[in-house]
Amino acid sequence: MPRPKKRRMVHAPPEFERFKPAGIMRTMLQLQKLSLEEYEAVRLADYLGMGHQEAATEMEISRPTFTRLIEKARHKVATFLIEGRELLIDGGHIHFRDNLLKCRDCGHSFRITIEREITECPACGSTNLVDFAGGYGHGRCCRGRNRNGRR
């Protein structure tokens, strides 16, 4: 029996979750899924320029696991670009460190630690907020976790 898969740490949920080629209807495209941990690997290695060991430490996984993850993610991103597919960032075995919230009334976006619960927009006081971590089914499960992902 395989050992249980460890949850990978992701800094924050992505602000954008779907991408597609311009001028082509979504119904005409094949879907390419990128998991949240694959998204985080691309963010750390390719966007922030971290080395594999540093990024693996940030995600609380081993360096070989990170290397496999980034190779898989890069292949999926290349497939999306070359074949003109729709890219969907979703799923994965993760916990968030931070959350992203956006006010539906004034459009203000802000990041908070996953530990904080905010019910009002700091810019306009509206309670009409979009909780990005909650949209991925996370938030409560991620709270109270230390650097090692334990309660």
Sorted by where each begins, the domain ranges of the chain are: 8-94, 98-142
Pairing label, strands 8-10, 94-96: parallel
Question: 107, exposed or middle or buried, with CB in 10 Å at 0-12, 13-18, 19+?
Answer: exposed
Q: Which pLDDT does position 150 carry in this prediction? A: 43
Report the C-alpha gap between 100 and 26 in whole angstroms.
26
Element (H or E) spanning 54, and its range?
A: helix 52-59
User: DSSP assignment, residue 141?
Assistant: G
Looking at the domain that runs over 8-94, which CATH code has it been given?
1.10.10
Residue 151 has what pLDDT? 40
pLDDT at 7: 84
- Write out residues in the chain with pLDDT < 50, as ranges: 146-151
Q: Which residues contact 32 (CB under 8 A, 6 or more apart)?
A: 76, 79, 80, 83, 85, 86, 87, 88
pLDDT at position 84 is 95
**pLDDT for the residue 19:** 96
Instruction: Note the residue count of the chain.
Output: 151
Measured CA to CA, the distance from residue 76 to residue 110 in angstroms comes to 29
In sequence order, the β-bridge partners of residue 33 are: 88
Residue 103 is encoded by which pair of tokens? 């006010």
Question: What's the CATH code, domain 98-142?
Answer: 2.20.28
| pTM across the whole model | 0.85
